[in-house]
Structure 1
Amino acid sequence: MEKRTVAKHRRQTNTAARAAAATTALAAGAALIAPAAASAAEVRVPNTPVTVQVPGIENVPGIAAIPGIDAWIPSLSGVSAEGDIRNAINSVKALPGVNSVPGFSDFIANVERQVLPAQPAQVAQTYAAPVAAPASAPAPQPSVGERIVSIAQSKIGSPYVYGAAGPDAFDCSGFTSWVYSQVGKSIPRTSQAQASAGQQVALSDIQPGDIVVYYSGASHVAIYAGNGQIIDALNSGIPVGYRDMYMMPIYSVVRF
């Protein structure tokens, strides 16, 4: 009887010892696991019961500044939202374990597109040879007729003096002969001689610079200025000036 009691006591003692050893081992294991678990944060997929522990995610500098992050990491709700969003996003993307959270990578990518400015595209530098400015076309030179009219215009206002041939006073043929001499053309001095020596031109073909001869005796001459006008030294008391070409009867038109 005593032997059976002792054996039973020994079995109870061994059982208690084994239980104590198992408890000690579990405690030691828990102590090893605890630090890792303490550094992880719960990432919860919004509107689902799915949660994943991601070590180190709460310690990312500036993570609270990522818009909408508190919907995925509830523990960040109310945390001051300051920091560099770009660096925070890059740090979060580099954490091991974030890819195991369903939809989290898409969420981060969407925030990145909406919040961060797009990087400027690299534009290839191309060299374009400078284009030489087109040479300006030379100004057209005035015709002889235009030069004749311009010289005649320069004497508008000069007085009429019978027998004068310039440069300060003129009669009608003195005026036409002086103007022509300024362009290198020597023509007869009198109106009748000018009417006879010049090339006859039809009135319909008249051009600026031509000489208009008036009256049947060719007693008056003038320089055609264009637009139905002449410039002439008309008579005493009337200075050189513009007049209507039809104010007197036209006898002929000549060109030198």
Structure 2
Amino acid sequence: MTDLSAFPVTQRWVAAYPDRLQLYSFPTPNGIKVSIMLEEIGMPYEAHLVDIGQNESKDPAFVSLNPNGRIPAILDPDGPKGQPLLLWESGAILVYLAEKSGAFLSADPVIRYETLQWVFFQMSGIGPMFGQLGYFHKFAGREIADRRPFERYLAETQRLLGVLDARLTGRAWLVGDGGGEYSIADIATLGWVRALEITYQAGALIGLVKYQQVTAWLEKCLSRPAVQRGLSVPVRP
């Protein structure tokens, strides 16, 4: 049996199956990227709930894994050259799992870099902007009297949805010609678009129904059994 005792995170979140990849996460739009990917590729893993509502991502044991104190993060006991690998940042984890499994990231250089550009588009634009809109519309930010930040993030969210909508015109997925092919770009993005309605209750505010290509794409994503399984991993308290 694999010995993970050298890693402090495994003292706080004890591994029942240390031979499996260990996932430390919470089912946020960022967190579910990794659980969905793991479900899609069928890799055995063990999920540990890091309750961000209780500030557990700032626990020293978790920070020993991710110094940035954010979910998700993984500990793969069978990393490169057979050595354990600690990895954080959801985009980096998606690339790692895609390369390890040979799935959802094309070996064709053109399609590979096309995929990565849409993953980075999500990481740099969609995630931060949609998240800020959620903060100012649904959470504590709505109490701020100055409406300019809210208006800025609303406008930018709508602009980014327009970019996605244009990209998806004539495509089933974000990457590839013709119908395209499902990839880590879709996995990275789907949770954030879903959150606009489900988490932030901002669908009507944004006019989400206007982005018909985006809503049709999201429906296709959510119809995948692996996506449905990954949406609730780890189970919320």
TM bracket, shorter-chain basis: under 0.3
Structure (1 or 2) with the greater strand fraction: 1
Structure (1 or 2) with the greater helix fraction: 2
Which one has the largest radius of gyration? Answer: 1
TM-score by length of 2: 0.20
TM-score by length of 1: 0.19
The structure with higher relative contact order (CA 8 Å, sep 6+) is 2
